[in-house]
Amino acid sequence: MAEDKKLVEAITAMEDDFAQWYTDVVKKAELMVYSSVKGCMIFKPAGYAIWENIQKELDRRFKETGVENVYMPMFIPESLLQREKDHVEGFAPEVAWVTMGGLNNLTEKLCVRPTSETLFCDFYKDEIQSYRDLPKNYNQWCSVVRWEKETRPFLRSREFLWQEGHTVHATAEEAEERTQQMLNVYADFCEEILAIPVVKGRKTDKEKFAGAEATYTIEALMHDGKALQSGTSHNFGDGFAKAFGIQYTDRDNKLKYAHQTSWGVTTRLIGAVIMVHGDNSGLVLPPKVAPIQVCVVPIMQKKEGVLDKAYEIKDMLSNFRVKVDDSDKSPGWKRSEQEMRGIPVRVEIGPKDIEANQAIIARRDTGEKITVSIDELDVKVGEILEIMQKEMLERARAHREEHTSVATDYETFKDAVANKPGFIKAMWCGEQACEDKIKEETTATSRCMPFEQENLSDVCVCCGKPAVKMVYWGKAY
């Protein structure tokens, strides 16, 4: 029992120190470790398997909208990166540079892609001649590098995994439609699969992507009341097309510039899952994204028939992703481990249960335990996983509602940032000066101008001038 406790004791309570709780969970659930390369992390099997499930589900949804996958080189020549002015200013200070190939210095240095707009544009300018070549809806799954100074597991690291979609369209309308379509794909995915409710909206000009005309975002609220930008979709207009010369001959035989979008989500979604659903026993994974959905824990497994029954149960539950923990650890240790790893359901089976043709099902998020007939196990496990998925989303939504406040004057706003962790809804005049002032004085940033606007007052919460938009504000990761 001493051993069982040790595993759990090692986690800091989230109320005491949320950042340390996060680090503890990430390590104890064996999701990742840092490598000997500063700021670069290693995805261990339990962490990478979450990403594989995210990929599988998103990739299917992308393809349903006509997206095709491609792969671009990881290197970008310096001259190519510099082609679009805003873009290079945004990224050049934080890229890694390859200056030697083999034993020789390169004549032109190459950056390791921080994002691939420039490569896609360079490719599209040759691929696209006619309206018949449009649209192009391409995506790639890869890793990118940004030379960050401070890093945090999954949330910010020098190399991270993501997908980046890059599309080209004949018209501005079509590009805008695709930009919003992909934002909706992300939002639906987060709610349906990750059980994370998100606010959809547009970034202010200050917060938009380097080179974009408009950036849309999904913002999620973590358990500690901080916001996490969880996915973005950019409409480039024809800015990149003009910088790279991406033109097509339209039906009217006129040469026109194309319109483009890009959109991406990263492995920080794993961080979101941890920080939205985790508790003081460790990770809690939504069933739909959990690499293992059911852990069968045999009790007194050395007794004849117990392990056989455990494997039999695994076979009975073939609709789900099931693991039998047949290690030589104690049942108590196995329970703690299943909880730490966030496996949604635990099925316990011992000699007495076998005699009574029953098993115990324990639900990870609520701790609830029920005893069911083994004949009903398959149905019951299915029901519990479904309910758990649904209730996890509801709880996360309720938490967000409780942690969203309204401020119509600056004193209330400042008090909210200081004392009420969460989103703050407040009106804004549209001037960057107010965003800058708010950030400087409160550390809160504008998260987005939500699509669902409300008229909270007629004036900007900061300067008192006429308001143009309601904005979600908050401290952010």
Give DSSP secondary structure letters for 102-148: TTEEEEEEEEEPS--HHHHHHHHHHH--BGGG--EEEEEEEEEE---
**Comparing C-alpha atoms, which of 198, 181, 202, 220 is closest to residue 468?**
202
**Touching its own copies, residues 100-129 (CB under 8 A):** 100-103, 109-110, 112, 119, 122-123, 126-127
24-49 per-residue burial string, b: 16 or more CB within 10 A, e: under 16: bbbbbbebbeeeeeebebebeebbbb
**Touching its own copies, residues 244-303 (CB under 8 A):** none
Comparing CB distances to its own copies, the nearer of 2 and 71 is 71
Comparing CB distances to its own copies, the nearer of 55 and 443 is 55
Q: Is 342 exposed, middle or buried (0-12, 13-18, 19+ CB in 10 A)?
A: buried
Cα dist from 337 to 221, 249, 405, whole Å: 27, 61, 37
Say which amino acid occupies 153. P
Binding mask 145-164 for its own copies (x = CB under 8 A): x-x----------xx-x---
- 16: contact with its own copies by CB under 8 A: no
The two structure tokens encoding residue 224: 């500690």
Q: How far is the CB of 135 from its own copies (least distance, A)?
A: 13
Q: How far is the CB of 122 from its own copies (least distance, A)?
A: 5
Binding mask 202-231 for its own copies (x = CB under 8 A): ------------------------------
Q: How far is the CB of 305 from its own copies (least distance, A)?
A: 25
- 73: contact with its own copies by CB under 8 A: yes
CA distance 247 to 337: 57
CA distance 77 to 476: 33
Q: How far is the CB of 138 from its own copies (least distance, A)?
A: 7
User: Quick one: which segment of 94-102, 167-175, 298-306, 335-343 binds its own copies (CB under 8 A)?
Assistant: 94-102
CA distance 34 to 320: 32
The two structure tokens encoding residue 200: 């959809």
**Touching its own copies, residues 23-62 (CB under 8 A):** 33, 35-37, 40-45, 48-49, 51-52
Where do contacts with its own copies occur on this chain (CB under 8 A)? 33, 35-37, 40-45, 48-49, 51-52, 68-77, 80, 93-103, 109-110, 112, 119, 122-123, 126-127, 138, 142-143, 145, 147, 158-159, 161
